Structure 1
Amino acid sequence: MPPYTEPDFSLLRDALGPLRDREQVAGRLLEASRKHAYDPDTELDWEAPFEPGLWFWPPELVSLYGTPLWHRMSEEQRIALSRHEAVSLASLGIWFEIVLIQLLVRHVYDKSPTSDHVRYALTEIADECRHSMMFARMIRTIGEPAYPVPRLHHNLARVLKSVSTTPGSFAATLLGEEILDWMQRLTFPDERVQPLVRGVTRIHVIEEARHVRYAREELRRQMVTAPRWQREFTRLGSGEAARVFSDCFVNPRVYEAVGLDRREAVAQVRASGHRTEVMRSGAKRLTDFFDDIGMLRGPGRRLWRSSGLLA
């Protein structure tokens, strides 16, 4: 095996464009956080009753939308499914944000605690703690049980939190944030959806925009400066993470909760052209960015395709 040589950073910078100053980016994000931070406990009306006939998630984003099974369901059953899928997604969000918090702590552990880059990471950790509590309170208010991710993926995340490289951590961050963000941007202005759910998604979208900016800037930097093995490992790891995330997006138990046959429902979701388009549309901004910075290459790209998130 030939000895490892550092990449030609000048060529990589030319390919990816100029890197922004890390401290300047963090300083702007800290200022935005000061101006646009929300306390869900006081911003949202948690005591208001749910409105009859309103959805808990836009119907077009419900997993079974447009399938033969969907057409056989009553309107009441469809709305009930949206209720359970909203809880399932909130449960996934809590799991993911707890993982993200630990990845961010690892990222800043050896860095200067007085830098703006670290101060913003700590600000984001505080945001994610509030978001997790907000999602948990929404689940309790809706009144359905939380839907944990499969035990295998839950335990694999323990490994990820311990061995993830810095670029891998930020790639996973974007994967977990950007698809849900796309869906939530469609949810919070939708007057067919319950006001509480709209309020939760609005807060999350506003604050997550800063998190996405932070992760994109750092991942772009890492794809220039990280050792080659880390970049290759990140390409593979992000592809596998995309496959896991796609599998976990909706817990199959939601179908049983509304009286549907689980196997039939899962099969119809997998065969649904509409659902495939929804997931790819949600991932498109992310996959375009990953393509631009050289993430979607080799075996990693094949894993992304197998996830259904990349055409």
Structure 2
Amino acid sequence: MTAALDPQGLTEVPDNVVSLQDSGPNEVSERLLASAARLSRNAMTEIDWSLPMEPDKYGCSPEWSSLYGTDYWNEMTQEQQISLTRHEFASIMCIGIWFEMILQEMVIRDQYLGDYHSPEFQFALVEIADECRHSLMFAKASEKMVGKSYRPHPRIGRAGKHFGVLARDEVAYAGILVAEEILDVFQRGCMRDERVLPFIRTVNEIHVLEEARHMKFAREEVRESMKGISAARRHSSALLISVGAYLIVSSLVQPQAYADAGLDVSRARREAAGNEHYHSMIRSSCIHLMEFLDEMGLLTKPALRYYRKVHMI
């Protein structure tokens, strides 16, 4: 298997993922099916979950902490910084589980009466199976690292249910892209960082590899759904996607994660809200996503307001 650097040069991605041509959902899905058959991985057998954690290893690259570079961060001991990154990444993984459950529901609903013989339908089932394994992987990793789960605020949890019901076609698949592309850049930056816990690096590596296929599939589904739609539908979809993005990004680091790391929650939230370094990291993770949404005509003025609220643009 040969490999090529991804556009940001952060890691190697198999040629059979990066070289796919945009030739329609079935053609793309057929090649993604072949890729999944050869390259799928299982964290339940690949990771030895019984191994003890090294006390001096972070949960994610320190630069990805929401408090990195703030006065609060600089006042912490290294032990406190390590604890914070572990709780933050556990929160991010748990929010990933929450959204992956919404994602699975959207894909199942979209494919409910699909052409069962088609590569598009069959890869959708592969994606659902992947997401189930990813959610289990994140749950095991969170359990091992901090021994607990994080959930979005109940109000956002209810909003997520409504989003899952309303999302169809381009809204569903662009919503998938929003969640996956942000995590993708974050995890690429952490998976080769030797300061990070080894099992977390493996979790990131598995997720990055398999989500490359999912993102390709989602982009093709968005392109297909956008063909010939009305201006009214395009504007409505753009707004729904941006609201979904706002719910996801604003929920990534739960306030309880700060409390569990032994921090003053009010101060931590205040300094994170003003942390230009973290905001810049979020924007950098969204560059390709924003370019794609713009190409599809989904960066409308009302939508941009929501993206700016969470520093995605």
TM-score over 0.5 for the alignment? yes
Question: 277, 280, 298: which is aligned to 1:277?
Answer: 280
Is 1:174 matched with 2:177? yes
Unpaired runs of 5+ residues, structure 2, are 1-20
TM-score normalised to structure 1 length: 0.91
CA RMSD of aligned residues (A): 1.3
Is 1:109 matched with 2:112? yes
C-alpha deviation, 1:171, in angstroms: 1.1
Task: Find the counterpart in structure 2 of residue 300 from structure 1.
Answer: 303
Judged with a 3 Å threshold, the aligned counterparts in structure 2 of structure 1 residues 135 and 227 are, in CA distance, closer, same or farther, namely same
Question: Deviation digits for residues 206-231 of structure 1, max 9, x if unmatched?
Answer: 00000000001111221224444332
User: Structure 1: how far apart are the matches of 2:51 and 2:250?
Assistant: 34
Contact 1:55 1:192 in 2 (8 A): yes
Task: Find the counterpart in structure 1 of residue 3 from structure 2.
Answer: none
User: Structure 2: how far apart are the matches of 1:74 and 1:263?
Assistant: 19
Is 1:254 matched with 2:246? no
Contact 2:169 2:225 in 1 (8 A): yes
User: Structure 2: how far apart are the matches of 1:241 and 1:249?
Assistant: 13
Deviates more, 1:42-51 or 1:55-64: 42-51
C-alpha deviation, 1:19, in angstroms: 5.5
Is 1:62 matched with 2:62? no
Question: 139, 144, 149: which is aligned to 1:146?
Answer: 149
Output the amino acid matched with 1:202: E
User: Structure 2: how far apart are the matches of 1:240 and 1:23?
Assistant: 29
C-alpha deviation, 1:282, in angstroms: 1.1
Deviates more, 1:151-160 or 1:137-146: 137-146
Within a 5 Å distance, the mapping from 1:1-311 to structure 2 comes to 20-310=23-313
Greater CA radius of gyration, 1 or 2?
1
Q: Secondary structure at the match of 2:227?
A: helix
Contact 1:239 1:300 in 2 (8 A): yes
User: Structure 1: how far apart are the matches of 2:30 and 2:91?
Assistant: 35
Contact 1:89 1:249 in 2 (8 A): yes
User: Structure 2: how far apart are the matches of 1:82 and 1:22?
Assistant: 39
Contact 2:83 2:261 in 1 (8 A): yes
Question: Deviation digits for residues 94-141 of structure 1, max 9, x if unmatched?
Answer: 101111000000110121111110000001000000001111111122
Judged with a 3 Å threshold, the aligned counterparts in structure 2 of structure 1 residues 227 and 19 are, in CA distance, closer, same or farther, namely farther
Contact 2:173 2:221 in 1 (8 A): yes
Question: Deviation digits for residues 20-41 of structure 1, max 9, x if unmatched?
Answer: 2221111000000001111111
Task: Find the counterpart in structure 1 of residue 9 from structure 2.
Answer: none
Q: Secondary structure at the match of 1:248?
A: coil
Aligned pairs, how many?
293
User: Structure 2: how far apart are the matches of 1:51 and 1:120?
Assistant: 38
Q: Secondary structure at the match of 1:212?
A: helix
User: Structure 1: how far apart are the matches of 2:80 and 2:304?
Assistant: 38
Contact 1:167 1:231 in 2 (8 A): no
Q: Which runs of 4+ in 1 moved over 4 A?
A: none
User: Structure 2: how far apart are the matches of 1:107 and 1:282?
Assistant: 27
C-alpha deviation, 1:144, in angstroms: 2.5
User: Identity over the aligned pairs, expressed in percent?
Assistant: 35
Task: Find the counterpart in structure 1 of residue 14 from structure 2.
Answer: none
